[in-house]
Amino acid sequence: MALKGISVLELAGLAPGPYCGMVLADFGARVVRVDRLGSRGDVSFLARGKRSLAVDLKRPQGAAVLRRLCARTDVLLEPFRHGVLSKIGRSGENPYPPLNLLADFGGGGLMCTLGILMALFERTRSGKGQVIDASMVEGTAYLSSFLWESQQLGMWEQPRGQNLLDGGAPFYTTYKTADGGFMAVGALEPQFYKLLIKGLGLKSDELPHQMSMSDWPEMKKRFADVFAKKTKAEWCQIFDGTDACVTPVLTFEEAAHHDHNKERGSFITEEEHGVSPRPAPLLSDTPATPSSKRNPFVGEHTEEILREFGFSQVEINQLTSDKIIESNKPRANL
């Protein structure tokens, strides 16, 4: 396989890291998952093709083990939580992410990029190229591996919009604020949920159990009433610096000027292109340098390119005359 001989250390974490590790394992990499102690017997999702090593990384000896492993490993996956989630909503309704991100860009474009990179890497050993068959349908299904594998837990048995992760849970959805903004809530784990309740000014002993699904509709109404009493800025002030997993739903402009993104340099501003996300991921030695030039006109570089590939001017003129090619050089604005 394309990644045969590549070794990967994956520090156990939430979905993105395990999914990435599974993809690498699926294509031949030797992936070792470094799990926490105390989870013996648990079955990890998205762990296909991996081996598990349980180490206490909080102790010096455990950290020393990890360092020795890293010295002989090609890739280390370390799961950090990054930044702020922005969502674009529809007028009058709570925000939903633009769903073309899933098939067009995730299952299609990103999967195709992944295939290309693996093929290029494999070529360094075999000297041969290969065809990358990137289907958006199959790529989206592959991205959805967690959904398929978690069906056995009953996570998707309720009608759409009434399950744990699709807006049914009062602690995993979005709420409208007093000024018409929105806050996104993702307090799944009990310790995060406890901080959510505290920030809302509610008392746990006066609420149903967090996982009482029959009480979720009423709890959502109660949470919505509370969120509607303060502005987005006020809720940000309450939850900033906490682990309650409550964040503002940002507009394009707010996302570009958010303190976290400004500190990271996550967006670039250029005269021709305006504000755009910086290419990701950020490579330490060979980071991407996006072009600052305007987008080309159709046919702007036709002749230039053909000459570079050895076409004579006579051939270019003939192709133009035969309407095989077209040049569209910009005219000067005088």
Q: Mind listing the pLDDT tens digit for each residue in 96-125? A: 777 777 888 788 878 878 888 888 788 888
Tell whether 51 and 136 lie within a shared domain. Answer: no
Tell whether 240 and 166 lie within a shared domain. Answer: yes
- Asked if the structure places residue 148 within a domain, the reply is no
The separation between the first and the last C-alpha atoms of the chain, rounded to the nearest angstrom, is 58
Q: Mind listing the pLDDT tens digit for each residue in 139-162? A: 999 998 888 888 887 888 888 888
Tell whether 184 and 244 lie within a shared domain. Answer: yes
Report the residue count for the chain: 334
* Residue 191 CB contacts under 8 Å (≥ 6 apart), including other chains: 243
Q: Write down the catalytic residue from 26, 104, 166, 215.
A: 104
Give CA–CA dist 191/242, Å, rounded. 11
pLDDT greater at residue 85 or residue 200: 200
- Looking up tokens 């699904």 gives 213
Give CA–CA dist 84/263, Å, rounded. 12
Confidence band of 332 (pLDDT split at 50, 70, 90): low
- Asked if the structure places residue 323 within a domain, the reply is yes
Tell whether 258 and 165 lie within a shared domain. Answer: yes
Quote the number of domains for the chain.
4
Is residue 315 pLDDT above 70, yes or no?
yes
User: Residue 16 is part of a domain; what is its CATH number?
Assistant: 3.40.50.10540
Tell whether 194 and 243 lie within a shared domain. Answer: yes
Give CA–CA dist 48/25, Å, rounded. 7
Is residue 192 pLDDT above 90, yes or no?
yes
- Asked if the structure places residue 116 within a domain, the reply is yes
- Looking up tokens 């149903």 gives 208
What's the burial of 175, exposed, middle or buried (CB within 10 Å: 0-12/13-18/19+)? buried
| Domain region containing 315 | 296-334
pLDDT at 214: 93
Tell whether 42 and 125 lie within a shared domain. Answer: no
Give CA–CA dist 62/52, Å, rounded. 15
pLDDT greater at residue 177 or residue 81: 177
- Asked if the structure places residue 117 within a domain, the reply is yes
Is residue 83 pLDDT above 50, yes or no?
no
Alpha helices in the chain (DSSP H): 16-26, 60-70, 100, 111-126, 136-143, 145-149, 190-200, 216-227, 232-239, 252-257, 259-264, 302-308, 313-321
Burial 246-266 (b: 16+ CB within 10 A, else e): bbbbbeeeebbebeebeeeeb
As given in the structure block, the two tokens for residue 209 are: 């159990």
Confidence band of 175 (pLDDT split at 50, 70, 90): very high
- Asked if the structure places residue 179 within a domain, the reply is yes
Tell whether 213 and 256 lie within a shared domain. Answer: yes
User: Which of 55-64, 187-196, 239-248 is least confident?
Assistant: 55-64
Phi-psi bin for 49: left (phi > 0), alpha (psi -120 to 50), beta?
A: left
Q: Residue 9 in 3-state DSSP?
A: strand
pLDDT greater at residue 327 or residue 106: 106
Residue among 174, 169, 238, 248 nearest 200 (CA)? 238
Tell whether 22 and 73 lie within a shared domain. Answer: yes
Q: Mind listing the pLDDT tens digit for each residue in 26-53? A: 878 888 888 777 665 455 667 778 888 8
pLDDT at 299: 66
Q: Mind listing the pLDDT tens digit for each residue in 270-301? A: 765 678 888 878 878 888 777 777 667 766 77
Q: Residue 156 in 3-state DSSP?
A: coil
- Asked if the structure places residue 330 within a domain, the reply is yes
- Are the CB atoms for 8 and 32 separated by under 8 Å? yes
As given in the structure block, the two tokens for residue 21 are: 């590790």
**285 classed as catalytic:** no
Tell whether 167 and 228 lie within a shared domain. Answer: yes
The stretch 176-192 carries a mean pLDDT of 95
